[in-house]
Amino acid sequence: MSKELKTIKLLAGICLNGGVSLQTIVRRFGIKASTFEIEEMVDQLAFAGYVDNIEKSPKGVFCGITEAGNAKAKDLLETSF
């Protein structure tokens, strides 16, 4: 799976699973990614303005989704059907 596809799936997962660690989202969505890769993807999403409030802790990586991220995830989910 390409990094771009992983990032898109992660954004959709963040939209659908608020308050859950990104490691849990990755497992639920079947994305094979290390914590380092997850951090790279979330930094990329933050740079694009799709997520904010990134928190890295021993329990995992957490973030919030912005209005732009919600709209992008909604668009991605609608076009995937």
Element (H, E) at 22: helix 22-28
Distance (Å, rounded) from C-alpha 46 to C-alpha 54?
8
Give the pLDDT of residue 71.
96
- Rounded to a whole number of angstroms, the distance between the first and last alpha carbons of the chain is 19
**pLDDT tens for each residue of 17-76:** 988 999 999 999 999 999 999 999 999 999 999 999 999 999 999 999 999 999 999 998
Q: Domain residue spans in the chain?
A: 3-79
Give the pLDDT of residue 18.
86
Give the pLDDT of residue 79.
86
**Beta-bridge mates of residue 51:** 65
- CATH code reported for the domain at 3-79: 1.10.10.10
The structure's pTM equals: 0.90
